[in-house]
């Protein structure tokens, strides 16, 4: 039942980088529905690579994931009063993909206490 079988063969630095990228997807990304579909396909490939313990492919897919979020473009286009107008129609990670992202995070970091995982979910620490 453990999800760490493939992750055990992944280099620790790749596992950490992948976990960080996935946490950003979960917490911060806002994309169009079409972009989320593309991310879903990328997540399926990433999941297969993690399960296979293929560090090289996981590393490549993590890099692809990092540039897929258009976060850099949004930040450059953001004015002093908030995000650029082209942010319209974008939304947070859809629930079915969220479940896949969380499962992948646990696959690459099966012992969250060792990876510095402190995020407790939406609204955590608010108040």
Assess if residue 67 is contained within a domain: yes
Assess if residue 121 is contained within a domain: no
CB-based contact 78:84 (threshold 8 Å): yes
Report residue 120 as tokens: 């407790």
What lies within 8 Å, CB to CB, of 46 at 6+ separation is 18, 58, 61, 62, 65, 104
Residue 61 CA neighbour count, 13 Å, CB half:
23
What lies within 8 Å, CB to CB, of 63 at 6+ separation is none
Assess if residue 56 is contained within a domain: yes
Q: 41 versus 122: which is more confidently predicted? A: 41
Assess if residue 46 is contained within a domain: yes
pTM of the model: 0.70
Q: What pLDDT score was predicted for residue 109?
A: 80
72 pLDDT higher than 50: no
Confidence grade of residue 98 (pLDDT, cut at 50, 70, 90)? very high
Assess if residue 123 is contained within a domain: no
Number of domains within the chain: 1
8 pLDDT higher than 90: no
């Amino acid at each position: 039942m453990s999800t760490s079988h493939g992750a055990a063969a992944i280099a620790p630095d790749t596992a950490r980088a992948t976990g960080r990228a996935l946490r950003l997807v979960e917490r911060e990304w806002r994309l169009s529905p079409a972009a989320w579909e593309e991310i879903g396909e990328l997540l399926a490939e990433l999941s297969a690579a993690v399960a296979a313990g293929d560090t090289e492919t996981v590393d490549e897919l993590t890099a692809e994931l990092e540039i897929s979020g258009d976060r850099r473009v949004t930040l450059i286009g953001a004015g002093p009063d908030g995000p650029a107008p082209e942010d319209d129609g974008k939304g947070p990670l859809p629930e079915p993909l969220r479940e896949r992202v969380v499962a992948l995070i646990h696959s690459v970091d099966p012992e969250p206490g060792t990876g510095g995982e402190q995020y407790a979910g939406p609204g955590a620490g608010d108040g």
